[in-house]
Amino acid sequence: MSEEAGALSLARLGWQPFFSDQVTDAERDCVPARVFGVRRRSLMVVYEGGEAELHLGGRWFQLPPEERPTIGDWLLLDEDHGSIVRMLERKSLLKRRAAGRNHELQAMAANVDTMFLVTSCNEEFNRSRVERYLALALEAGVRPVVVITKADQSDAPAEYAEVAAALMRELAVELVDARDAATLAGVRAWCGAGQTVALLGSSGVGKSTLVNSLSGLQVQDTGAIREADAKGRHTTTHRSLHVLPDGGLLVDNPGMRELTLGDVEQGVAELFADIEELSATCRFGNCSHEVEPGCAVQAALAAGTLDPRRLESYRKLGQKDPARTQPATSAPRSMRGRTKLRRLD
């Protein structure tokens, strides 16, 4: 953290009416606290006037992984700050399928307002990868912003920004040199007082450098990338929440080699809104957009107004992955990124 815990008000920690409205009359003496760190069986929390490390009781582990407290969650503590009364409903939840045989849903960050998808002006930049992250953010109800780093190392950085901007309507794209404060004005504008921003992206794209530049402190280690493939090692090894001087909060996540999505049907629909709108005008409601007569999507392809690659991406992201459709513990569709949780010790 970049300031003393005792100097932080609830507003500086990201407390909003969405959370205060959940506190019942019987809970008025409880202490709101936000999760800043997660260890195996304990949490580091910050509240107005202090911080504490709390043991996570065994009953929490009876819940599915994504229903346990994670970075960014809001808790109500007892008056002694020693135990959790309950966890408040989430405003949003970024989650993915964990690697491995079970494909459990893994909570990455809760109550996020904006997601910075960090990529770079080199071989690491990949449109399909960017689309997967965008679908993840949109599914959670989180505003996505593509932050393209290492603009100083490219002969044509604007071309990367142009390609990224074409992936979604009205997509915000920021082109930066993470070491140059003069290029970060646009990024800082998304980190207003009480706003929580999550950084996601591959290793070596400059997320740790960006965290350090925005916070004004050396809060994360940085490392070099391999020249051969522009890939880097993991300099961030655990999720962490940082308070920024400008008033925002920043969640830094370890770089991910692979992003396995859960159910992102709504996110895909928002990402490819143009294709969804075309589909609605097809002659047949169950049109596969292949050979059916009266297909508006095929007509757009023939007219050159729809990029064939975009349709291919739409199909791939919309496919039913067996890992996604097996019984899972995610919240109902109507909840999107939100999760209601029971009262547990």
**Domain spans in the chain, listed from the N-terminal domain onward:** 5-89, 110-252, 272-319
Annotation: CATH topology of 272-319: Ribonucleotide Reductase Protein R1; domain 1 (1.10.40)
Residue 195 confidence (pLDDT): 96
Using pLDDT thresholds of 50, 70 and 90, give the confidence band for residue 334: very low
Distance CA 114, CA 200 (A): 11
pLDDT at residue 49 tops 60:
yes
Distance CA 74, CA 89 (A): 8
Residue 102 confidence (pLDDT): 61
Distance CA 279, CA 120 (A): 33
**pTM attached to this predicted model:** 0.82
Range in 39-43, 171-175, 323-327 with the lowest mean pLDDT: 323-327
Distance CA 336, CA 266 (A): 9
pLDDT at residue 230 tops 70:
no
What does the pLDDT average to over 27-46?
A: 94
Rg of the chain in Å (alpha carbons):
21
Residue 310 confidence (pLDDT): 96
pLDDT, one tens digit per residue, over 232-245 is 444 444 688 989 98
Residue 104 confidence (pLDDT): 77
Residue 188 confidence (pLDDT): 94
**Burial (Cβ within 10 Å: 0-12, 13-18, ≥19) of residue 231:** middle
Residue 204 confidence (pLDDT): 84
Distance CA 19, CA 34 (A): 11
pLDDT at residue 114 tops 50:
yes
Highest CATH level, class, for 5-89: mainly beta
Using pLDDT thresholds of 50, 70 and 90, give the confidence band for residue 340: very low
* Concatenated DSSP letters of 198-239: EEEE-TTSSHHHHHHHHHTS--S----B-TTT--B--S--S-
DSSP category for residue 316? H
pLDDT at residue 2 tops 90:
no
Q: How far is CA 245 from CA 19, 36, 132, 190, 211, in A?
A: 23, 17, 31, 13, 12
Q: Any idea which residue has 């992201």 for tokens?
A: 317
What does the pLDDT average to over 57-67?
A: 89
Average pLDDT for the chain = 84
Residue 106 confidence (pLDDT): 84
Q: Is 182 left (phi over 0), alpha (psi -120 to 50) or beta?
A: alpha
- Two domains, one topology: 110-252 and 272-319: no
CATH number for the 110-252 domain, one of 3.60.15.10, 3.40.50.460, 3.40.50.300, 3.40.50.620? 3.40.50.300
Nearest alpha carbon to residue 128 among 318, 313, 324, 315: 313
What does the block give as tokens for 320? 């039913």
Residue 339 confidence (pLDDT): 39
Range in 85-94, 136-145, 201-210 with the lowest mean pLDDT: 201-210
pLDDT, one tens digit per residue, over 285-329 is 999 999 999 999 999 999 999 999 999 999 999 875 444 443 333
* Concatenated DSSP letters of 265-315: HHHHHHHTHHHHHHHTTSSSTT--SSS-TT-HHHHHHHHTSS-HHHHHHHH
What does the pLDDT average to over 333-340?
A: 40
